[in-house]
């Protein structure tokens, strides 16, 4: 073989090799693009599946074979969703057939549903209707739709199932609210009519818009009384609108031959829907018997003081000038005071000085400032004031200071024993927590009503629970929900919660739990003497 021939052969081989490599690279790129396309197709498929799965409705699909692909499988495939299986309590679950679905309905509804499906499959007629589930006693709304491809080919026929129980409950709740509102309106109308004070409402033109029966009886049946009232009340209402402030005026009326005295009130108000329209609300307060009421008040006040004097709690009343005007024996005995000094109208300042000399006041660095602050209570106290006095002799006194018609009333109660008991309880609770934390097994204690009472550190470690959440004393259901991250693979979490609740609170029997990491936990509930439930969790090795 000569040199030129060899060169030609090498040249041709190089060209063929380059073409082959180009073809291989192009083929490799096509494969990569197909893999990428297949990845996105699978991801979209999963996304659509999860979207349908998230629907609150269950579905049953009739999936038809693709006419464009030659396949020996020409039968219609049936697919039942998990949500539908749970909704209808289908024993076969997602493997349930349409006949299994029909079996949960009454025969008449099953025949009706079967007929509707046949019409949809043969003529494409969709439907929507409500059916009754015979065993679960719930209503299901079923509606259909047909899914076609862009080329017009038939993909599937879908039956969607919606549980109407929640909607029905909502309708009933709304109806109950309407009934309650109607009853409330009727009650308010009855209240308005049965108020023993004549009252009424005026519109923006100051004309009477509504009034109660007392007003009707007092004025509308007596022309002279109505004439006397109308002019005075209308002028007062006009003044209330001009000043935008409530107005009061004394009003004298001769009714049934007797002179009666009233306080006439007119108060402006804005219509909530139309703020530019302002009317008034008026009423008449009968003050004819005011003097009698004042005398009765004095009598009742004296009786009230007599009752206070007989109480076991220590109390004293100082008038507005800070002089002692009344006390009971318990007050005298608590502070070891002489009756003669108390009966001499001791001042509040003298009372503080005496207690300081007896070392019966809290230790303060500046007694003069403390006494001045105490004396400022007279004339400045608006709301009741309560505080604790920690005395040098070891007693703790709860003091309540409140306004009284004659001045200020001071009430004292020795709470030393109560606070000691509370401290003892707190210490016992602390000891109990330490004992529980010393246990190697995880422990929960529930109150009889199902609320969490106590837990230990071993439980927090076993279920990765947060102490701050458990310290809020959640319910048993909330506690079980905190365990959910350990059982993510459980398909029907609510069923597992019901299982745990039943074994702990109803039959109080041991059971086992299998976590997602295959860890087996043995749960043993025990009823304690106070009817609390002690639950231990032991990890089996």
The total of other beta-carbon atoms located within 10 Å of residue 79's CB is 15
- Whether residue 363 lies inside any domain: the answer is yes
For residues 36 and 29, give the distance between their C-alpha atoms in angstroms, rounded to a whole number. Answer: 10
Within-domain flag for 226: yes
- Count CA atoms closer than 13 A to 180's CA, side-chain side: 6
Alpha-carbon gap, residue 439 to 535, rounded angstroms = 13
The position carrying tokens 């209308």 is: 234
Classify residue 12: in a domain, yes or no.
no
- Asked if the structure places residue 26 within a domain, the reply is no
User: Comparing C-alpha atoms, which of 324, 253, 323 is closest to residue 284?
Assistant: 253
- What single DSSP character describes residue 382? -
Number of domains in the chain: 5
Q: Is residue 302 part of a domain?
A: no
Does the global pTM surpass 0.75?
A: no
Alpha-carbon distance of 456 to 436, in angstroms, equals 5
Handedness of CA 360, 363, 365, 371 (dihedral sign): negative
Answer whether 446's CB lies under 8 Å from 453's CB.
yes
Give domain status of residue 5, yes or no.
no
Helix (H, G, I), strand (E, B) or coil at 141: strand
Q: Which domain holds residue 365?
A: 309-414
Q: How far apart are CA 202 and CA 199, in angstroms?
A: 10
Q: Hunting for tokens 């199932």 — which residue is that? A: 161
Q: Are residues 315 and 364 in the same domain?
A: yes
CA 93/CA 95 separation, integer angstroms: 5
- Whether 200 and 187 share a structural domain: no
Residue 187 sits in the same domain as residue 151: no
Check whether residue 207 and residue 183 sit in a common domain: no
Whether residue 137 is found in the same domain as residue 231 = no
Which of the residues in the chain have pLDDT under 70? Answer: 1-2, 35-55, 67-74, 168-169, 172, 220-222, 224-225, 255-257, 271-276, 291-312, 431, 541
CA pair distance 200, 233, nearest whole angstrom:
11
**Are 292 and 379 contacting, i.e. CB atoms less than 8 angstroms apart?**
no
Q: Cα dihedral sign for 107, 109, 112, 118?
A: negative
**Strand bridging mode 278-286 / 199-202:** antiparallel
Same domain assignment for residues 439 and 527: yes
Q: Which two structure tokens, joined as six digits, stand for 480? A: 């079980």
Which helix (H) or strand (E) element contains residue 263? Answer: strand 258-270
Instruction: Output the six-digit token pair for 339.
Output: 């009756």
**One domain, residues 399 and 496:** no
Angstrom distance (rounded) from CA 496 to CA 480: 9
Task: State the virtual CA torsion across 493, 498, 500, 503 in degrees, nearest 10.
Answer: -160
- Please say which residue of 232, 259, 288 terminates a domain: 288
Is residue 42 situated within a structural domain? Answer: no
- DSSP single-letter state for residue 137: T
Domain-located, residue 149: yes
Residue 114's SS3 state is helix
Final residue of a structural domain among 194, 212, 241? 194
Considering all CA atoms of the chain, what is the largest pairwise distance in Å, rounded to the nearest integer?
153
Do 156 and 65 share a structural domain?
A: yes
Cα-only R_g, the chain: 43
Residue 78 β-bridge partners: 62
For the chain, what is the total number of helices (H) and then of strands (E)?
17, 20
- pLDDT on residue 73: 46
Pairing of strands 208-211, 199-202: antiparallel
157 and 57 within one domain: yes
Extract the runs of DSSP E, i.e. beta strands, from 217-342.
247-255, 258-270, 278-286, 314-319, 324-327
Q: What is the pLDDT of residues 240-264, one digit of tens each?
A: 888 889 988 888 777 666 777 888 8
* Residue 129: both structure tokens together: 């209707």
Eight-class DSSP state of 153: -
Please indicate, yes or no, whether residues 186 and 237 belong to a single structural domain of this protein: no
* Interior/surface letters 159-186, b for 16+ CB within 10 angstroms, e for the rest: bbbbbeeeeeeeeeeeeeeeeeeeeeee
The residue from 414, 446, 469 where one domain ends is 414
Query: Which pLDDT tens digit goes with each residue over 492-538?
Result: 888 888 998 888 888 888 998 888 888 888 989 998 888 889 998 98
Residue 210 and residue 190 share a domain: no
Q: What is the CATH number of the domain that holds 443?
A: 3.30.450.20
Please check whether residues 234 and 247 belong to one and the same domain: yes
């Amino acid at each position: 073989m000569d040199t030129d021939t060899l060169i030609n052969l090498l040249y041709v081989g190089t060209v063929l090799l380059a073409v082959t490599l180009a073809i291989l690279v192009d083929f490799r790129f096509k494969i990569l693009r197909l893999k990428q396309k297949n990845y996105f197709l699978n991801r979209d498929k999963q996304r659509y599946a999860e979207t349908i799965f998230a629907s609150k409705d269950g579905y049953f699909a009739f999936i038809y074979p693709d006419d464009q692909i030659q396949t020996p499988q020409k039968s219609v495939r049936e697919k039942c969703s998990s949500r539908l299986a749970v909704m209808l309590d289908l024993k076969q679950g997602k493997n349930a057939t349409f006949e299994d679905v029909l079996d949960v309905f009454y025969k008449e509804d099953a025949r009706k549903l079967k007929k509707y499906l046949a019409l949809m499959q043969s003529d494409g007629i969709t439907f929507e209707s409500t059916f009754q589930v015979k065993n679960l006693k719930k209503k299901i709304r079923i509606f259909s739709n047909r899914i076609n491809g862009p080329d017009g080919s038939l993909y599937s026929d879908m039956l969607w199932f919606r549980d109407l129980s929640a909607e029905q409950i909502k309708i009933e709740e709304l109806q109950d609210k309407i009934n309650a509102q109607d009853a409330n309106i009727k009650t308010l109308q009855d209240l308005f009519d049965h108020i023993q004070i004549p009252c009424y409402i005026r519109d923006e033109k100051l004309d009477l818009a509504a009034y109660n029966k007392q007003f009707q009886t007092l004025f509308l049946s007596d022309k002279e009384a109505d004439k006397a009232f109308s002019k005075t009340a209308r002028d007062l209402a006009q003044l209330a609108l001009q000043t935008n402030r409530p107005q009061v005026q004394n009003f004298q009326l001769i009714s049934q031959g007797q002179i009666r005295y009233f306080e006439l009130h007119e108060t402006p108000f804005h219509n909530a829907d139309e703020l530019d329209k302002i009317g008034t609300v008026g009423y008449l307060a009968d003050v004819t018997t005011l003097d009698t009421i004042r005398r009765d008040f004095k009598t009742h006040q004296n009786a009230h003081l007599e009752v206070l004097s007989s109480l076991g709690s220590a109390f004293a009343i100082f008038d507005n000038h800070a002089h002692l005007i009344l006390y009971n024996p318990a007050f005298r005995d608590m502070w070891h005071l002489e009756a003669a000094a108390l009966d001499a109208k001791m001042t509040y300042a003298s009372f503080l000085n005496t207690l300081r000399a007896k070392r019966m006041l809290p230790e303060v660095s500046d007694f003069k400032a403390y006494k001045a602050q105490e004396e400022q209570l007279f004339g400045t106290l608006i709301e009741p004031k309560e505080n604790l006095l920690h005395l040098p002799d070891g007693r703790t006194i709860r003091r309540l200071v409140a306004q009284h018609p004659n001045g200020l009333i001071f009430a004292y109660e020795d709470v030393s024993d109560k606070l000691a008991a509370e401290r003892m309880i707190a210490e016992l609770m602390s000891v109990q927590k330490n004992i529980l934390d010393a246990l190697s097994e995880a422990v929960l204690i529930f109150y009889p009503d199902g609320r969490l009472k106590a837990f230990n550190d071993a439980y927090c470690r076993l279920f990765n629970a947060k102490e701050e959440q458990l310290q809020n004393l959640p319910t048993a259901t909330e506690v079980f929900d905190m365990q959910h991250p350990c059982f993510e693979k459980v398909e029907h979490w609510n069923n597992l919660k019901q299982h745990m609740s039943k074994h702990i609170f109803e039959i109080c029997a041991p059971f086992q739990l299998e976590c997602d990491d295959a860890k087996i936990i043995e749960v043993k509930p025990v009823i304690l003497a106070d009817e609390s439930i002690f639950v231990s969790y032991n990890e089996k090795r």
